[in-house]
């Protein structure tokens, strides 16, 4: 036998045994694994190799696939779901300030919220800002009201405090008002005003249009670059704690190209624990097309990798069409030019839109582009559109335009019912109709200014249609099943970044992105779904978060 042949035989022997191509390096057994495959199968065990799923099935069958030295994790009956994906989460922006802002997400009373301010005041130097930048609503508090300036003063006597509610209201302590030089209505930017009590004395609160609150927020000190990087890592870990392994980031207000440096650094260091697919917002009002052409000249569609990928334009393309129910012909023409340019270059596009009554402006432009360049392969989408009519859903389906749906009504339901009536509210948002028509639907939140980023809050809301204060508004005809809602939040969301063939369900060949849950999503009372957390989160087979009985696994070497 020649040397070469001998060598070849040796190589074959080495690789054929004992490690075969099918040998798993990680096996999860004795669980309830909700695969989100086409048959909605639930299996007992899953085998993983090199970050991908090799097989799913019974525990004995999966154990047989374990190679030498494989890690076997006994799930002890726990439920596993595909890693959750939020299809509209301002993750990059939320991450920048996650380590420096005070978070009121999930606080059940003003007292609990103020406690978080008090705690932050103890750890931060006197004089440094304490900022709550949204993500809460007075309906979540037992007191059903907003905090007062006096309460904030008492909680943090030595720090300026700024508390923002959505994009319409904020309250500051006296130190805060002084620091931002707000003493008269004229000091408030973009048409905002100081609120006054019955005697005409300012209350410390500021209200106004979205532009006023955004400009006000921009006057606050920015986190340092080091804080932004730290915040980004911490926010991604927080997402992992809630079973999230992916998000579509749609740009957003107060976010400039320079603000992407922190996430890029985390990516460069190989420290991403959430897969981010991001799109670019129109930047300079009136000059958006110029911006896109120069900023994107070197960024083709899909540029990046599995952890950080560029996926197109949005959530707004032009300032003129942003939340504008009556755009002029010139506004629309400008928008059309950009959208056509995006289609020519194969870019994705996501556009947020409010009421169904005016969405014809947008759909007509999409249809016009579609006559020149078919847009279905580009997987464009509309976000929000909570009262989408059947006709709108049909038009979206015909275009192949998807729909990212958020739990805006969790905070905003009462206001919607007041404005549109309880009958209209029964079908808001009509996800069962949309799914039946065949519109691609992704789950999500639109966090963190206007909503909580907690996916289980959103999943519970999909299933019970109840606002944060408990008002049941959606009817059974538009209430999805648990499996359906989970599909929106996994495979459904993965569709928008062209990732539904690589993640979003637990099937052989797909990435091992998954979460082991603290409670059984399929059987726990619906009202308890919001309390679920992950106890073990994997991204590409790697453990990125572990808690409880699994804590020791997180940093253990295999
Ligand atoms: Zn948004």
Of the chain, the percentage scoring pLDDT greater than 70 comes to 96
- The CA–CA distances, whole Å, from 317 to 311, 351, 362 equal 14, 7, 11
The conformation of residue 488, written as its DSSP 8-state character, comes to: I
Is residue 497 a contact partner of residue 511, using CB atoms and an 8 Å limit? no
Q: What is the mean pLDDT of each run of 10 residues along the chain (558 residues)?
A: 57 50 91 98 98 97 95 98 98 94 94 97 94 92 96 97 95 96 94 95 95 93 95 97 98 90 98 98 93 96 98 96 95 98 98 97 98 98 98 98 97 93 95 98 93 96 95 96 98 98 98 98 98 98 97 77
Q: 448 alpha carbon to ligand 1 midpoint, in Å?
A: 9
Q: 178 alpha carbon to ligand 1 midpoint, in Å?
A: 31
Give pLDDT, residue 513.
98
Give pLDDT, residue 390.
98
Give pLDDT, residue 20.
61
Quote the tokens at residue 225. Answer: 């670059």
| DSSP strands (E only) in 473-557 | 514-517, 534-539, 542-546
Q: 88 alpha carbon to ligand 1 midpoint, in Å?
A: 6
Q: 353 alpha carbon to ligand 1 midpoint, in Å?
A: 10
Q: 62 alpha carbon to ligand 1 midpoint, in Å?
A: 42
Cα separation of 19 and 485, whole Å?
39
Q: 526 alpha carbon to ligand 1 midpoint, in Å?
A: 27
Give pLDDT, residue 17.
43
Q: 191 alpha carbon to ligand 1 midpoint, in Å?
A: 23
pLDDT tens figures, 492-547: 999 999 999 999 999 999 999 999 999 999 999 999 999 999 999 999 999 999 99
Q: 295 alpha carbon to ligand 1 midpoint, in Å?
A: 21
Is residue 352 a contact partner of residue 406, using CB atoms and an 8 Å limit? no
Q: How far is CA 90 from the centre of its chain?
A: 6
Q: 34 alpha carbon to ligand 1 midpoint, in Å?
A: 29
Q: What are phi and psi of 26, to 5 degrees?
A: -140, 135
Q: 449 alpha carbon to ligand 1 midpoint, in Å?
A: 9
Cα separation of 503 and 512, whole Å?
8
Spell out a b/e string for 87-111, using b for 16 or more CB atoms within 10 Å of the CB, else e: bbbbbbbbbbbbbbbbbbbbbeebe
Q: Which of 94, 19, 84 is nearest to 456 (CA)?
A: 84
Q: 297 alpha carbon to ligand 1 midpoint, in Å?
A: 25
Q: 41 alpha carbon to ligand 1 midpoint, in Å?
A: 33
Q: 386 alpha carbon to ligand 1 midpoint, in Å?
A: 13
Sheet of 52-57, strand order: 52-57, 45-49, 24-29, 66-74
Q: 126 alpha carbon to ligand 1 midpoint, in Å?
A: 34
Q: 153 alpha carbon to ligand 1 midpoint, in Å?
A: 32
Q: Which of 243, 233, 242 is nearest to 105 (CA)?
A: 242
Cα separation of 536 and 243, whole Å?
8
Q: 446 alpha carbon to ligand 1 midpoint, in Å?
A: 5
Residues whose CB is less than 8 angstroms from the CB of residue 199 and which lie 6 or more positions away in sequence, other chains included: none
pLDDT tens figures, 95-135: 999 999 999 988 999 999 999 999 999 999 999 999 999 88
Q: Which of 435, 442, 323 is nearest to 390 (CA)?
A: 435
Q: 114 alpha carbon to ligand 1 midpoint, in Å?
A: 27
Is residue 112 a contact partner of residue 121, using CB atoms and an 8 Å limit? no
Give pLDDT, residue 449.
84
Residues whose CB is less than 8 angstroms from the CB of residue 527 and which lie 6 or more positions away in sequence, other chains included: 460, 464
Reported as type and span, the H/E element at residue 460 is: helix 455-464
Q: 539 alpha carbon to ligand 1 midpoint, in Å?
A: 25
Q: 351 alpha carbon to ligand 1 midpoint, in Å?
A: 9
Angle between helices 360-372 and 390-399 (to 10 degrees): 20
């Amino acid at each position: 036998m020649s040397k070469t042949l001998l060598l070849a035989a040796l190589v074959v022997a080495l690789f054929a045994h004992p490690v075969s191509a099918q040998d798993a390096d990680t096996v999860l057994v004795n669980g309830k694994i909700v695969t989100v495959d086409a048959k909605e199968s639930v299996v007992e065990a899953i085998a993983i190799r090199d970050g991908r799923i090799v097989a799913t099935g019974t525990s004995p069958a999966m154990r047989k696939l374990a190679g030498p030295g494989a890690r076997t994790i006994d799930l002890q009956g726990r439920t596993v779901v595909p890693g959750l994906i939020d299809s509209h989460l301002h993750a990059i922006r939320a991450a920048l300030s996650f380590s420096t802002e005070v978070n009121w997400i999930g606080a059940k009373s003003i007292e609990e919220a103020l406690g978080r301010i008090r705690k932050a005041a103890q750890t931060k130097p006197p004089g440094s800002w304490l900022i709550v930048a949204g993500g809460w609503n007075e309906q979540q508090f037992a007191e059903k009201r907003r905090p007062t300036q006096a309460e904030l003063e008492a909680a943090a006597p030595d720090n300026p405090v700024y508390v923002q509610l959505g994009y319409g209201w904020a309250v500051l302590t006296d130190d805060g008002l002084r620091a931002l030089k707000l003493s008269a209505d004229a000091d408030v930017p973009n048409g905002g005003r100081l609120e006054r009590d019955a005697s005409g004395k300012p209350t410390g609160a500021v209200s106004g249009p979205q532009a006023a609150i955004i400009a006000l927020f921009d006057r606050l000190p920015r986190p340092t670059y080091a804080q932004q990087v730290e915040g980004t890592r911490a926010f991604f870990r927080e997402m992992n704690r809630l079973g999230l392994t992916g998000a579509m980031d749609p740009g957003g207000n107060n976010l400039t190209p320079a603000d992407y440096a922190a996430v890029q650094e985390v990516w460069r260091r190989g420290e991403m624990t959430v897969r981010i697919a991001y799109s670019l917002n129109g930047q300079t009002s009136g000059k958006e097309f110029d911006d896109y052409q120069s900023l994107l000249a070197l960024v083709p569609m899909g540029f990046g990798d599995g952890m950080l990928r560029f996926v197109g334009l949005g959530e707004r393309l032009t300032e003129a069409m942003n939340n504008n129910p009556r755009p002029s012909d010139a506004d629309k023409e400008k928008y059309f030019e950009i959208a056509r340019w995006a289609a020519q270059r194969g870019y994705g596009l996501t556009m947020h839109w409010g009421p169904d009554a005016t969405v014809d402006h947008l759909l007509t432009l999409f249809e016009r582009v579609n006559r020149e360049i078919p847009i279905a392969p580009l997987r464009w989408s509309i976000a929000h559109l909570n009262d989408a009519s059947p006709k709108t859903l049909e038009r979206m389906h015909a275009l192949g335009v998807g729909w990212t749906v958020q739990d805006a009504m969790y905070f905003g339901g009462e206001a919607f019912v007041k404005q549109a009536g309880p009958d209209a509210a029964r079908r808001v948002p009509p996800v069962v109709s949309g799914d039946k028509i065949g519109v691609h639907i992704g789950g999500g939140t639109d966090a963190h200014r206007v909503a909580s980023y907690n996916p289980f809050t959103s999943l519970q809301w999909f299933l019970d249609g109840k606002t944060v204060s408990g008002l049941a508004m959606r009817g059974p005809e538009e209430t999805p099943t648990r499996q359906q809602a989970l599909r929106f939040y996994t495979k459904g969301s993965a569709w928008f970044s062209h990732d539904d063939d690589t993640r979003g369900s637990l099937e052989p060949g797909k990435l091992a992105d998954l979460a082991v849950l603290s409670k059984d999503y399929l059987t726990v009372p619906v009202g308890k779904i919001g309390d679920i957390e992950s106890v073990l989160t994997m991204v590409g087979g790697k453990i990125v978060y572990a808690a409880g009985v699994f804590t020791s696994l997180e940093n253990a070497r295999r």
